[in-house]
Amino acid sequence: MIWKCGNYSFDTQVPVVMGILNVTPDSFSDGGSYASFDDAIAAACRMRDEGALIIDVGGESTRPGAAEVSEDEELHRVLDVVRALAANDICVSIDTRHASVAAACVDAGASIINDVSGFRDPEMVRVAASCDAGLVVMHMRGEPRTMQQEPQYDDVVVEVRDYLLAQAHMLESAGVDRARICIDPGPGFGKTAQQTVELVRNIQEFVRTGYPVMIAVSRKSYIGALYSIEVPQDRDKASAEEALMACELGACVVRTHNVAATVARLADVRPYAFIGLGCNVALVGSAEESQQSKIAQLEHAIAEICLIPDTQLIDVSGFYESEPAYLEDQDTFVNAVALIRTGITPRDLLHYLQAIEDSLGRVRTVKNGPRTCDLDILDYQLYLSSDEELTVPHPLLAERDFVVKPLLELAPFHILANGKRLTADAVKVGHAVRIR
């Protein structure tokens, strides 16, 4: 997926690191550190050299309980810094909730508007629609001064996700290109520590929206609570670990105070792979139980995938019933797609999957024939292969409805390792209907 930000475009298949540059006297962990122009420029250049692709400049503290500053004061703090960094070919993000500040900074060269209030202000929407900057739409309950006053949710993941989807769709309706939008669940903004943990442990639910997802957990108070680290500046190692976990779940933009530590840890992000699962031979005698038996067999296979060394199950699609493809005189199939992160090679992964098939009674006597369990590597991040043992991406993936539908459920705008975007346009066989 490509995130378009003015003159910059970011391939989000690998994490994009955004360095935090607060030119404020009162930010929660680094207030006053870069108050002078020279200090701010030096810090930004250092973060760029350490691996940050974006520098996020903020002139108003949005820590819990923070008082508002005037737009004139905020602009006074950030404008010269934004202009200087942009002139030095640095992709600049302006962290603001004020339309006048955003507009002035875009005019000065900023390529991203990072709005912690989620573009609730119609004037900010107009600014967004009138430029080509990338947009970060964040969720915040209330305002910084009041947001931590007993925040309550029935289901924090669902409510935050639905809010962000609504705001993103609103921006698109206003004329903003979808490819410019990134969403941020807003860890710690109007959420308790427990609510924030629930959000960041379920980042895949936000990835399913099809928008790039930012993870902005650096030095947050929930990390202090979770890891028993009181001083914000001492939370960098734990912050990097949380960022790694979120990126393995699918987050792709990482906002951080300590760029060097974060970049080093993100080097350990494992490749993702999509695994197709299918079954049309139920291991029960009753026709009424057939469909549930097929689902149970796929669930067993998924459990076995979880036991593959250095491999983590990230997400699983719903289950789909599909018509037989290629060899039609056989029972209907149940299919699903699993998304994993794995540190083993594609060929080793193939051998593990074949062993799981064998353990579930797979017999390979009839091509495209009945099977108790069929496991295919559909796509493996940044890996191409075409030989007798393994072809990746799977050569027939795009024409199979029973693969395309569940895969796009997990990753709506997925780009295969060969650079082709997966769509329903090429589907020819195996009509599939979701059953669970």
Q: Are residues 292 and 405 in the same domain?
A: yes
Q: Are residues 29 and 53 in the same domain?
A: yes
Pair 326, 265: CB distance under 8 Å = no
Q: How far apart are CA 115 and CA 124, in angstroms?
A: 9
Q: Apex CA 217: angle with CA 91 and CA 95, to 5°?
A: 40
Q: Are residues 429 and 288 in the same domain?
A: yes
Residues with Cβ within 8 Å of residue 98, at least 6 apart in sequence: 60, 71, 74, 121, 124
Q: How many domains does the chain have?
A: 2
Q: How far apart are CA 381 and CA 384, in angstroms?
A: 9
DSSP 8-class letter at 420? P
pTM: 0.93
246 burial (CB, 10 Å; 0-12 / 13-18 / 19+) is buried
Q: Are residues 16 and 140 in the same domain?
A: yes
Pair 344, 273: CB distance under 8 Å = no
Q: Are residues 365 and 235 in the same domain?
A: no
Q: Is 422 helix (H, G, I), strand (E, B) or coil?
A: coil
DSSP 325-339: -S--SSPPEEEEEEE
Q: Which residues pair with 374 in a beta bridge?
A: 278
Q: How far apart are CA 343 and CA 349, in angstroms?
A: 9
pLDDT of residue 384: 97
Q: Are residues 290 and 210 in the same domain?
A: no
Q: Are residues 238 and 386 in the same domain?
A: no
Q: Which residues pair with 16 in a beta bridge?
A: 253
Q: How far apart are CA 163 and CA 22, in angstroms?
A: 27
* Amino acid at position 373, single letter: C
Q: Are residues 65 and 129 in the same domain?
A: yes
Q: How far apart are CA 405 and CA 421, in angstroms?
A: 14
Give per-10-residue mean pLDDT for the chain (436 aa): 97 96 69 75 97 96 75 95 98 97 98 96 98 97 67 93 98 98 94 94 97 97 95 96 98 98 98 97 77 95 98 98 92 97 98 97 87 96 95 97 98 96 94 96
pLDDT of residue 328: 87
Of 215, 250, 267, which residue sits at a domain end? 267
Pair 219, 233: CB distance under 8 Å = yes
Q: Are residues 105 and 248 in the same domain?
A: yes
pLDDT of residue 284: 73
Beta-sheet pairing, 272-279 with 333-342: antiparallel
- Judge whether 294 counts as a catalytic residue: no
Pair 298, 313: CB distance under 8 Å = no
Catalytic residue among 48, 77, 180, 255: 255
DSSP 8-class letter at 409? H
Q: How far apart are CA 223 and CA 20, in angstroms?
A: 17
Q: Are residues 252 and 315 in the same domain?
A: no
Q: Residue 284 belongs to a domain with what CATH number?
A: 3.30.70.560
Pair 9, 3: CB distance under 8 Å = yes
Q: Are residues 208 and 348 in the same domain?
A: no
In Å, how far are 55, 202, 335 from 218, measured between CA atoms? 14, 17, 39
- Judge whether 220 counts as a catalytic residue: yes
Range of the domain at 287: 272-434
Catalytic residue among 77, 161, 180, 220: 220
- Give the containing element (helix H, strand E) for 271: none
Of 242, 267, 292, which residue sits at a domain end? 267
Closest CA to 292 of 306, 300, 282, 301: 282
Q: How far apart are CA 132 and CA 181, in angstroms?
A: 11
Q: Residue 81 belongs to a domain with what CATH number?
A: 3.20.20.20
pLDDT of residue 91: 98
Of 215, 242, 267, which residue sits at a domain end? 267
Q: Are residues 314 and 379 in the same domain?
A: yes
Pair 187, 135: CB distance under 8 Å = no
310 burial (CB, 10 Å; 0-12 / 13-18 / 19+) is exposed
pLDDT of residue 34: 65
pLDDT of residue 151: 77
pLDDT of residue 287: 65
